[in-house]
Amino acid sequence: MTAVWYYVFTLVFFLFDYFILAMGLNIQYGETGILNFAYFAFVAVGAYVTGAVSLPNSVGTGQHYIFGWGIPFPFNLLMGGIATSLLAVVLAFITLRRLRTDYLAMVLISSSLILYDICNNFVPLFNGADGLYNVPPPFASVLKLTTNSFIPFFAAVTGVIALIMWFVMSRITRSPLGRTFRAIRDDDTVAAALGKNVFRGQLKSMIIGSFYAGIGGGLIIQFSGSLNPTAWLPGETFVVFAVIIVGGVGNNVGLLVGSLLVETLLVHLTAFLPAIPGHPGLIEYIDAMLIGVFLMVMLWFRPQGVWPERPRLSATMVRLLGKRGPSVDEARVEADVSDAALNDGSRG
């Protein structure tokens, strides 16, 4: 396989993986309004747990880590997702009940730093600053995959998983639960006045989103076989926010578009650029800057994203529910006409 195809499939993998990650952050931020600046810490925890449960017992591997149960794919992935969901519960109980948006963001971002600090320094947990490596690639031995054939294979697996998770997420966002999430996002006081338990709603959203983060993270460590703390600094969370904002907040299909634009074009294609001699890392720095600039420009000129959230139309709802036609419509519309005149005076 040529190097070009190698890159293409790597891009495909990241496209699907960031689609999953973006769906998770979108339900928290786009649907429920929780500004989770710690999102990538959840991704990392998912990756570490997935890696640590699938690695063999740590004795004799030259690494130090907990678990080491040799659990196969995809069960290791599920455990990663469950672990991040548990983390979400803990953080939610500490923070969600007590803090308004911006303090919540502060505490969450602080939590991510502390997690970082612990993972980096406490070696017995996930091998400290060296991180986990040699995580066994799924199915590689069964299907006799080489390094080259593993990449397109796993990109396809990720695509299938992304599809399933997209289906599940659409069910959630289109359900009354999703509607309640959006009510909380738009005005939590109103939601509470309508009998919605705002904390429980936010908790649910945190758990669902974190599960997605965990799965997305688990896929990353399965794909690359390793993860160390430098891979999940706060800037990474920003990339996922960029995917959501570029794609369109609150729209699952838009997230795939956003993932394509941000993740594959802005983040990974720059890997093809030659390094500037004498300035190691300069390309990456400029790349990160550009993502920041791009996002601000996007936020200013097209805050709804390239593929905006669509309102759920009554006709669709009525059709989906199998309610029989517009028997009431005529009378209603007539009543509304006089209404237009009535409201003209007070528009605004």
Binding to other proteins in span 107-136, by CB under 8 A: 107, 109-111, 113-114, 117-118, 121
Helix 3-25 and helix 198-224, axial crossing angle in degrees, nearest 10: 170
Question: Nearest 5°: CA angle at 16, between 53 and 295?
Answer: 115
Of 189, 277, 301, 325, which one interacts with other proteins (CB under 8 A)?
189
Least distance between other proteins and beta carbon 331 (Å) = 7
Measure CA of the first residue to CA of the last residue in the chain; give whole Å.
62
- Look at residues 82, 87, 136 and name the one whose alpha carbon lies nearest to residue 108: 87
User: What x/- string results for residues 23 through 42 when contact with other proteins is judged by CB under 8 A?
Assistant: ------x---x-x-x-----
Least distance between other proteins and beta carbon 146 (Å) = 35
Of 235, 265, 271, 275, which one interacts with other proteins (CB under 8 A)?
235
Least distance between other proteins and beta carbon 72 (Å) = 25
Of 125, 145, 156, 192, which one interacts with other proteins (CB under 8 A)?
192
Q: Which is nearer to other proteins, 12 or 239 (CB)?
A: 239
Can residue 78 be called a binding residue for other proteins (CB under 8 A)?
Answer: no
Of 43, 52, 206, 208, which one interacts with other proteins (CB under 8 A)?
208
Residues numbered 309-328 forming contacts with other proteins, rule: CB under 8 A: 309, 311-315, 317-318, 321-323, 328
In this chain, which stretch among 54-62, 140-148, 168-176, 209-217 interacts with other proteins, using CB under 8 A? Answer: 168-176
- Sign of the alpha-carbon torsion through 258, 261, 264, 270: negative
Check if the beta carbon of residue 213 is closer than 8 Å to that of residue 237: no
Q: Which is nearer to other proteins, 221 or 298 (CB)?
A: 298
Question: Residue 113's CB: how many other CB atoms inside 10 A?
Answer: 14
Q: Which is nearer to other proteins, 70 or 310 (CB)?
A: 310
Collapsing DSSP to helix, strand or coil, 195 comes out as coil
DSSP secondary structure, 85-102, as one string:
HHHHHHHHHHHTTT--HH
| 153 contact partners, CB below 8 Å, separation of at least 6 | 139, 143, 145
Place of tokens 């195809």: 5
Give the number of residues in contact with other proteins, rule: CB under 8 A. 98
H or E segment and range at residue 243: helix 234-247
Can residue 234 be called a binding residue for other proteins (CB under 8 A)?
Answer: yes
| 158 contact partners, CB below 8 Å, separation of at least 6 | 13, 16, 17, 20, 219, 223
Of 186, 265, 273, 275, which one interacts with other proteins (CB under 8 A)?
186
C-alpha to C-alpha distance for 80 and 67, rounded to whole angstroms: 12
Phi, psi of 240 (to 5 degrees): -70, -40
Can residue 230 be called a binding residue for other proteins (CB under 8 A)?
Answer: no
Can residue 57 be called a binding residue for other proteins (CB under 8 A)?
Answer: no
Can residue 172 be called a binding residue for other proteins (CB under 8 A)?
Answer: yes
DSSP secondary structure, 35-84, as one string:
--TTHHHHHHHHHHHHHHHHSPPSTTSS--BS----PPTTHHHHHHHHHH
Can residue 343 be called a binding residue for other proteins (CB under 8 A)?
Answer: yes
Least distance between other proteins and beta carbon 82 (Å) = 15
Q: Which is nearer to other proteins, 60 or 280 (CB)?
A: 280
Can residue 46 be called a binding residue for other proteins (CB under 8 A)?
Answer: no
Of 1, 164, 194, 265, which one interacts with other proteins (CB under 8 A)?
194
Per-residue DSSP letter, 322: T
Residues numbered 260-289 forming contacts with other proteins, rule: CB under 8 A: 279, 281-282, 285-286, 288-289
Least distance between other proteins and beta carbon 250 (Å) = 7
Collapsing DSSP to helix, strand or coil, 302 comes out as coil
Q: Which is nearer to other proteins, 50 or 112 (CB)?
A: 112
